[in-house]
Amino acid sequence: MSQNWIKIYGEDVTCWARDLKENYDKGYILIGQVNPGPNVPQMHGWIIKTDINGNELWNKKLYSSQYQIACNGLDLTLDGGYIMNGVTTKLDPYDYDISIIKFNVCGQKEWCKIFSTPGNSDYGLKVKQIPGGYVALVKYFKDWIHQRIWLFKLDNLGDIIWQKLYAQSDTNIFNEEGRELLLTLDGGYLITGDASYLVPPWTFGYRHPLIIKTDSNGVDQWTLVFGALYAYKGYGGTDSYENQYGFFYATSQHFRDSVPLGDSPGFIKVSPDGEEVYWRDLFPNTVLGIDNTMDFINDSVMIISSSWSYSSTTSDSTGVIKVDTLGNVLKVKVLLTNVINTLRASTLTYDNKYLVTGGF
């Protein structure tokens, strides 16, 4: 039987959890990175397997004294193993390359693929298992200035079947960032993130949430820069969800440019054909608010992990917010104070509990 608990891993190093999944035995797999420090000459990846109560069963360090490794995205595989998407400097000592590693149920490596553009930093972000292989969200492949959001479809051994580049047809979009990948109900993919958007006669672009919907072959069906035409500004897309009717929700950080000024954690809603439906601020008066993860209890109630503060003189709060899809806050649970933007991944467990992880 699971319990309510707090667990801290890596008390003697600087480390971050980047993703987590509930495992076949109702325990958890966490992945992340250990940052360089006095006793750690190179950044390395870290995989932790726990039981249902968060007690560590084993951990694996992806480590080399000659190059860096970090873990970003995680998915469980049908054979009981898991697959990780991240970065390494093994082939390109001065720039990152995409590293995708498949592990068996015991955490032993089955295969590893590195996708490198020499002299250019490429980043592996997310990965999902699909029928016949995997799909991976990566960024900055080949060109970190103009070619910034990609999907790779891989076969079961990690070889590339196709590569697709996005956000290229609208020249007003720039500095685009992909952050989350969702498998959609129609067999396609949803990429969420944010981008700057130039609306003439402006000479600069504001940040806006960015949503890209593709079919199962990775062909772009629509691309939406949310709020670009009516000045809804902010970052977005660190997590997303599709309801049974095909409507999409995504986290957002709203930059309020009217009184009271500040940033609000919130979410946006988009129709199945890529039309804006609405946006909601969770806290309308915060000077700083950041969303991180989104998990739906049902089609009308979600839990969002977030950080916020009400003034420059009050302490920052990090916690979870229970909210309905109209933006009505039902409950707030503060988990940490005096830390901001620390949560990175979450999940609803089999017994309807909520698990969230990060670093601080």
Q: What is the DSSP string of 240-306?
A: EEE-TTS-EEEEEEEEE-SSSPEEEEEEEEE-TTS-EEEEEES-TT-SEEEEEEEEEEETTEEEEEE
Give the tokens for residue 274: 């890529």
> What pLDDT shows up at residue 1?
42
The answer as to CATH 2.120.10.10 being correct for domain 172-360 is yes
* Residue 293 CB coordination number (10 Å): 23
CB atoms inside a 10 Å sphere around CB 286: 24
CA distance 163 to 184: 19
Report residue 21 as tokens. 């999944």
pTM (two decimals):
0.95
Q: Say which CATH class 1-165 falls into.
A: mainly beta
| pLDDT value of position 250 | 98
Beta-ladder partners of 50: 28, 56
d(CA 31, CA 72) in angstroms, rounded, equals 7
Check the CA dihedral 27-8-101-131 and report its sign. Answer: positive
Low-confidence residues of the chain: pLDDT under 50: 1-2
- Location of each CATH 2.120.10.10 domain in the chain: 1-165, 172-360
Cα distances (Å, whole numbers) of residue 5 to 52, 294, 335, 355: 10, 20, 11, 10
